[in-house]
Amino acid sequence: MKIVVVANFDSMSAEVAKMVCAQIQRKPNSVLGLATGSTPLGVYELLVEYHARGADFSKLTTFNLDEYVGLARDHPQSYHWYMQENLFSKVNIDPRRTFIPNGLAEDLEAECQRYEGLIKQAGGIDLQLLGIGTNGHIGFNEPGTGFGSITHVVDLAESTIRDNSRFFESIEEVPKQAISMGIKTIMQAKEIILMASGGSKADAIYATVHGPVTTAVPASVLQLHPAVTLVVDQAAASRL
Ligand code: PGA
């Protein structure tokens, strides 16, 4: 595991955006795994700037990690909406090659299988971006999720519902379930970048790097991946 400690959120975003751009330059038809939440917002802003200065996203394929169950695509807290707002509508990405699980599918299990199949058909993910939950989750793979899991329906942990309630009018409005790539899906990515910013992530980052590899801290599985880079700011790295 390579660990890059940077000063703050902005330098974390700059570092990761640079790595993503290098990947796109190296392989214009890369398959990127994308994350949502507060952490990658600065990365997406910078990718939009790179695009304005000529970076070409037209040959990319993207797969998002997860989506809430039950939110319409145009719900402002859905990850479909988030990706449109923060990246897809601002770069020349081909909408036919941007994939996000459908949290409104009638048959959620079938949707999970379809999504996993789409990733395989695309040849797998070249570079996966990850945030981390305060409880160590990656995607919406909460503590206890098996390392063999593929795309699945998850019941969100109480701590995740609490953490994410800041984006909703009230905690009752936070969906209780999501569709998420599984741990195995994530581990099959050729390369992974995990980002973290802020002191609230310091315990989870410590456990990811120094803790035992355990399903109690899903991100600890990354110790077993051959090409992981952690880009963490000083606050998130404060216990390392
Ligand atoms: P955050 O979420 O980026 O909003 O902190 C990260 C995560 O839960 O994976």
pTM of the model as a whole = 0.97
Among 38, 161, 201, say which to mutate for ligand 1: greatest number of ligand atoms within 8 Å of CB.
Answer: 38
Q: What is the C-alpha separation between 34 and 44, in angstroms, rounded?
A: 10
Position 226 scores a pLDDT of 98
List pLDDT tens digits, range 152-183: 999 999 999 999 999 999 999 999 999 999 99
Ligand 1 atom closest to Cα of residue 35: 9
Position 145 scores a pLDDT of 97
The reply to whether ligand 1 has any atom less than 6 angstroms from the CB of 133 is yes
The reply to whether ligand 1 has any atom less than 6 angstroms from the CB of 33 is no
Q: Which residues of the chain have pLDDT under 70?
A: none
Position 29 scores a pLDDT of 98
Ligand 1 atom closest to Cα of residue 200: 5
Enumerate domains of the chain plus CATH numbers: 2-233 (3.40.50.1360)
C-alpha 131 – ligand 1 centre gap (Å): 5
The reply to whether ligand 1 has any atom less than 6 angstroms from the CB of 37 is yes
Position 113 scores a pLDDT of 98
Report which of 69, 128, 65 is spatially closest to residue 102, judged by C-alpha positions.
69
Tell me which residues are annotated as active site.
66, 135, 137, 142
List pLDDT tens digits, range 213-230: 999 999 999 999 999 999
Residue owning the nearest CA to atom 2 of ligand 1:
37
Per the structure block, which two tokens stand in for 219? 């991100």
Report which of 194, 77, 101 is spatially closest to residue 151, judged by C-alpha positions.
101
Ligand 1 atom closest to Cα of residue 36: 3
Among 82, 138, 163, 183, say which to mutate for ligand 1: greatest number of ligand atoms within 8 Å of CB.
Answer: 163
What is the SS3 assignment for the chain?
Answer: CEEEEECCHHHHHHHHHHHHHHHHHHCCCCEEEECCCCCCHHHHHHHHHHHHCCCCCCCCEEEECEEECCCCCCCCCCHHHHHHHHCHHHCCCCHHHEECCCCCCCCHHHHHHHHHHHHHHCCCCCEEEECCCCCCCECCECCCCCCCCCCEEEECCHHHHHHHHHHCCCHHHCCCEEEECCHHHHHCCCEEEEEECCHHHHHHHHHHHHCCCCCCCHHHHHHHCCCEEEEEECCCCCCC
The reply to whether ligand 1 has any atom less than 6 angstroms from the CB of 38 is yes
Ligand 1 atom closest to Cα of residue 132: 9
